[in-house]
Chains A and B, each alone.
Chain A
Amino acid sequence: MKAIRVFLYIIIGVAVLYYLAARVNAPIHKAQELNQIATSDTSYIKKYSAIAKYKELLPLVKEKAYREAQLYMSKNDSIGMVINFRDSSANLMLKGVCIQTSKLVDFKKDKIFDGVEAPAFRKIFSKPLHNIDEFSTFAKVPIIIKKAPKDTIEAMRMATLPVEPPIDPAYVKYDLEYGIKLLMIQDSCDTPEELVVENMFKTELRKQKSDDLVSSLVNIGNPKYTPTIVLTLSGKDVRSIYRALPEKADFVMIFEK
């Protein structure tokens, strides 16, 4: 009986250790993958050998990268978003002009970004990150279809007073380049409908996270990991940002020094 108990403890211990190893290995592998984007390019590394050599230059590299990305984005005619982790704000930019600033109620940034080195940081973040796919819990353009009346009598009958559109719960997911995921969620959940939508959105995310976890457990040598940024804003801000951004939007990130 005692031997069975000891065996059981060993099995649980080994399983926990394996789980921890898989969980820790997944983001490390992803960070190395991101770093290799720069290190695998020998001509690039040769060109930027100084920033590769001196760790002290990383804060300046970060400063330069986001300015270059903003300038690059200003050449585009469409609206882009600048996420500033320093002052906790999300800014909509159009032709280099800040057209809206929204205060982030909260944000969660993946630890993986602390593991990105200067050459890779320069290569990845000195240009805006493009949006590959997106999902939201509300319509981007809430279009109402109206049939033209046949005569003035029908037009009179059809005439209605304008009303504000319904306020849907605001949860948005963007899949960006380099496998980065950006989430924008509303800060409060007051109605039962909002709770239902929030749960559906979170279930979808949990599903993706568990898929990643299973992948990292099964394939520890080459695990799947999705670096995630979660921005919490007021519902009004989430809606206005999402509706302002085009379908293939650009994102610039300003990280801490």
Chain B
Amino acid sequence: MENENFNSVDKQDEGLDNVEKQEEALYNVEKQDEEQNLVEKQEETNGAESPEGTTIITDEPITEEPLKQETVFTATAEPQKRSIFKTFFGKMLKLIILLLLLFLSIVYLPSILQSIAIPLSTYRHVEGKDAAELAESREILEKSISKLDKELNDLIPEDCYMIINSTDNVFTLKRGKEIVRIGRCSTGSNSLLESDKKQKKWLFKTPKGVRTVKSKKTDPVWTKPDWAFIEEGLPVPGPTSPSRFEEGVLGDYALVLGDGYMIHGTIWQRYLGLSVTHGCVRLNDADLEAVYKNLNKGSKVFIY
């Protein structure tokens, strides 16, 4: 029994030894497989193209340790590069950058290049180097400039003058370059009155240009022209008819500008600032008085 027992123990020991051997053999096979895989990968890496399209050729002998390191490096770096440039967003980014460059070169670059090229391209047939000639020319130019300045200054009236803006219906009274008074006025309505009788036409427009004050009147009487009757649907009276003369409608003063045009007052002061007249310039009472006092016979009136 004891022998039988001993035999069974020996068998058990033998069985354990066999298991250990099997495990060791399995480990060795796995290790060999791993090494084989590594060698295969190394071979693949050596023969494959890099992402940039160049073939890596190495003369160094292939060893196990460096092989493992290189294999690990190649295996991790390659997918990273692909993720940036080969993705949809990467391609889109490249396209956007290209289009942006194209847009900038079409829109902004020409004007930048023009600003550089135009001054550089200017033609200069002779470049002078005579300092005396330059100084002399400079002096001549400076003298002629000061002479021209004097001539231009002489054009500005020293006395009071009036400027009338017929678009905005404002006037400015000036003495030299100094402003004396600014105010509202009324100028021509730019309306054209057409009469069936005799096919006559009148354009109620304030004439633009320079005029001079021909005469000054106090308590002026308006001599009504033909159009004043036609406009009201009335028959035109004779030239000396009393209905031609109307008092009080032109205010206290009138400054005659010629050709039937005047600067005068008005009973329609609420229309000042509007283009409503038949060509004359209407002012309010206070402005009219100031203009009357400051402008003399011969004073200039600039109308635009």
Cα distance, A68 to B151, chains bound together (Å): 10
Q: How far is the CB of A7 from chain B (nearest CB, A)?
A: 15
The answer to whether B148 touches A16 (Cβ under 8 A) is no
Looking at the assembled complex, report how far the CB atom of A16 sits from the nearest CB atom of chain B, in whole angstroms: 5
Stretch at the interface among A171-179, A182-190, A197-205, A236-244: A236-244
A52 touches B304 (CB 8 A): no
- Asked whether A79 and B304 contact (CB < 8 A) given A57-B137, A97-B155, A145-B194, the answer is yes
**Count of B residues near A, CB < 8 Å?**
68
Bound state CA distance, A26 and B232, in angstroms? 63
Instruction: Indicate which residue in A16, A24, A55, A150 contacts B106 across the interface (CB closer than 8 Å).
Output: A16
Beta-carbon contact of B208 and A144 below 8 Å: no
Check if A152 is an interface residue, CB within 8 A of chain B.
yes
Q: Known interface pairs A142-B190, A145-B192, A148-B195. Does A60 touch B232 (Cβ–Cβ under 8 Å)? A: no
A96 to B190, CA, bound (A): 27
> Nearest-CB distance from A201 to chain B (Å)?
20
**B141 touching A64, Cβ below 8 Å:** yes
> Is B141 within 8 A of A71, CB to CB?
no
Of the four ranges (under 10, 10 to 19, 20 to 34, 35 or more), the interface on chain A belongs to 35 or more
- B259 interface hit (Cβ, 8 Å): no
Residue of A nearest to B172 (CB): A99
Select from chain B the residue with minimum beta-carbon distance to A236.
B168
Given known pairs A143-B190, A239-B167, A244-B208, the reply for A149 and B233 (CB within 8 Å) is: yes
| Interface SS, A side | helix
B109 nearest CB neighbor, chain A only:
A20
Measured in the bound complex, the distance between the Cα atoms of B122 and A151 in whole Å is 73
A-contacting residues of B (Cβ < 8 Å)?
102, 105-106, 109-111, 113-115, 117-119, 121-128, 133-134, 136-138, 141-142, 144-145, 148-149, 151-152, 155-157, 161, 163, 165-168, 189-197, 203, 205, 208-210, 230-234, 271, 274-276, 300, 302, 304
**Please, could you name 9 A-B residue pairs with CB atoms under 8 Å apart, sorted by A?**
A20-B109, A27-B114, A28-B121, A52-B126, A77-B209, A79-B208, A97-B161, A144-B192, A152-B233
Closest 6 CB pairs of A and B: A96-B155, A53-B128, A155-B233, A23-B110, A50-B137, A67-B148
Q: Give the B-binding residues of A (Cβ under 8 A).
A: 12, 16, 19-20, 23-24, 27-28, 31-32, 35, 39, 49-57, 60-61, 63-64, 67-68, 70-71, 74, 77-79, 92, 94-97, 99-100, 111-112, 114-117, 141-155, 162-165, 236, 239-240, 243-244, 246
